[in-house]
Amino acid sequence: MAKTPLGRLEAKAFGLLELPRLDKAVLDGFRALGDLTGTTSDAMDECRINGVVPGSTLRPTDAKARVVGRAITVLNQRREAGEMKKSGLGEIEAHNLAEPGDVLVIQGIAGVSSMGGVSASVGKRQGEAGAIVDGAVRDIDHSRNIGYPIWCSSVSPITGKWRIQTVAINRPVSICGISVSPGDLVIADEVGVCFVPLERAAEVLAVAQRLTKREDDRLAKLESGMPLKEWIKL
């Protein structure tokens, strides 16, 4: 499949960029964490990075889903009285750029759907790990049934086709007040979503692995029967 059907000048204006790749060892390291977002959030605190959104704000359509992947970003804005014969949604171009394991990250509009079942099916076909949408989505029974998890701030049957205009792809977006750049690391489970800047992913992973080892050691000592008064000192 061609990477984009847009013309060169149009693609440049739309913000279609070739993204840097995340190191596979870093991705695998995060995937191996037992407490995925909890440990990552603690590590980001230690690294003084603001980039965590609670699961009560971005709710998962599948509570069992866990994703770790590179962000493909989409910026949607409210459309002025759009023509009802032509959709203003353009996330298909982001799907077209996605590589297996990538995560679609959409800055959308409250109460209006930025993606539905067809878009989820395309994302699933492209091998995406899932999507994060600061805004509404619909057809969540379909996306759940095909194994395409979505974290969103709302759900709505109201289509965005005539109400939303995609204005940029792979440009920085704001998700629940957090700036997310294309290529950043997205980590999500039923507890929440963490956005880790690309250039600091390895640093955050190292801290998360250290925290995990410390927690595992403490739990092992607790299970071995160490007196609680001694265990608390750990």
Judged against a pLDDT cut of 80, whether residue 222 lies above it is answered with: no
Residue 58 CA to residue 75 CA, distance in Å, equals 17
Q: In 111-225, where do the E strands start and end?
A: 130-137, 150-155, 164-169, 173-175, 178-180, 185-189, 192-196
Residues pairing with 169 in the sheet: 74
In a domain, 2, yes or no: no
Provide the token pair at 158: 């109201």
CATH code for the domain in which residue 145 is found = 3.50.30.40
How many domains is the chain partitioned into structurally? 1
Residues 129-158: what's their mean pLDDT?
A: 97
Q: Is residue 152 part of a domain?
A: yes
Q: Which two tokens stand for residue 157?
A: 């049957």
58 Cβ neighbours under 8 A, 6+ residues apart? 132, 134, 151, 152, 153, 175, 176, 188, 192, 193
Would you state the pLDDT for residue 9?
36
State which H helix or E strand residue 12 sits in.
helix 8-14
Residue at 66 is within a domain = yes
Model confidence at 234, pLDDT cuts 50, 70, 90, reads low
- Average pLDDT, integer, range 223-231: 69
Distance CA(183)–CA(203), nearest Å, equals: 16
Spatial separation of the C-alpha atoms in residues 100 and 104, rounded to whole Å:
11
**What's the confidence (pLDDT) of residue 80?**
77
Residue 201 lies in a domain: yes
- The tokens for 72 are 């493909």
In a domain, 71, yes or no: yes
In a domain, 218, yes or no: yes
Average pLDDT, rounded, for the chain? 88
Query: 71, 105, 102, 75: which is closest to 88 by C-alpha?
Result: 75
Domain assignment present for residue 3? The answer is: no
State what percent of residues in the chain have pLDDT above 90: 74
Question: Residue 163 to residues 14, 166, 174, 193, 210: CA-CA distances in angstroms?
Answer: 19, 10, 19, 27, 47
Q: Which amino acid is at 140?
A: I
176 in a domain, yes or no?
yes
Domain extent at residue 71:
8-232
Spatial separation of the C-alpha atoms in residues 187 and 164, rounded to whole Å? 27
**Euclidean distance between the first and final Cα of the chain, in Å?**
55
